[in-house]
Amino acid sequence: MGKPGILYVTIEHAPTLSRVAFEDWYNNEHGPLRLQLPFITSGRRYRATDGESPPWMAVYDVTDLDHMKSPAYTDLAAQPSPREREVLKHIRSTRYFYEEELSAGSVNDTDRVPTFFMTLRMFLPKGASPADRDAMAADVHRWYLDEHVPLLEKIPGWLRSRRFRLAPAFHPDQDPHWLAIHEYRAAHGNGGPEFRYATSTVWRQRIMTDTTQERRNYLLHYQPSSSSPSPSPTAPGAPTASRATPTRAPPSWSSSTAS
């Protein structure tokens, strides 16, 4: 049995694909078809607020990453609908599969919806010896457990923090790294005194010196609901086409108040 984890996707669409066409395809075809799979338990799409590219990001929670190599998932990409095949000509995306290492806090789709989303990818120095890398990795792990997450929990609006490691079975040629995801309510205390303290300790400064980081900030744009997708009109910029109706109606991607 494989490990639980996430599919983390960054997305950018070319000007040749209209925003309306992109949204219609993702919310009414691409996302729901993946959410019908029993091993993908949730999916949310976010829009960047930091002005960086790519501007879109999606996260799918997966119960067992081994299932992401099964035909149930791979056939979705191998056998796209005519509309998806056309839309993908105008899409640039990067997929990462991550194994979950730790999780603190909780979210749901009612009173604990994570609206503000911070990510941090952390890399160990490539030139370090294996022994030094192992020591740094152990230090990072202890820091998260003993200091970092306990301090983040005190920030107003904090809901959940998770840390993942790049899954080597899917990325054998890539340098391993961590992905941290911190989720907050719409009204949160990032930038406040608790946040400043959590990000200014001596231990954190050592971790930041020993590693390199890539940070991104996002707002929730779409989240799944329990209803099945309704037919949508032809979206400008892309032809419509339908797949065979799935045996289990997938949840739809409904508009969030944060969009």
The per-residue pLDDT for range 81-96, each reduced to its tens digit, is: 999 999 999 999 999 9
Predicted confidence (pLDDT) at residue 175 exceeds the cutoff of 60: yes
Distance between CA 123 and CA 175 in Å, rounded?
8
Among the CATH numbers 3.20.20.60, 1.20.1530.20, 1.10.1070.11, 3.30.70.100, which is that of 5-255? 3.30.70.100
- Asked if 210 contacts 143 with a C-beta cutoff of 8 angstroms, the reply is no
Share above pLDDT 70 across residues of the chain, in percent, rounded to a whole number? 86
Of the pLDDT bands very low, low, confident and very high (cuts 50, 70, 90), residue 246 is very low
pTM equals: 0.85
What does the pLDDT read at residue 140?
Answer: 96
Q: How far is CA 252 from CA 24, 85, 118, 178, in A?
A: 11, 21, 24, 30
Which whole-number Å values give the CA distances from 60 to 120, 210, 216, in the listed order?
17, 30, 18
Would you kindly state where each structural domain of the chain is located, as residue ranges?
A: 5-255
On the question of pLDDT at 6 being above 70, the answer is yes
Structure tokens at 216: 């991104």
Please state at what angle helix 202-210 crosses helix 130-143, rounded to 10 degrees.
150
Give the integer Cα–Cα distance in Å for 178 and 212: 11
pLDDT in tens, 23-74: 999 999 999 999 999 999 999 999 999 999 999 999 999 999 999 999 999 9
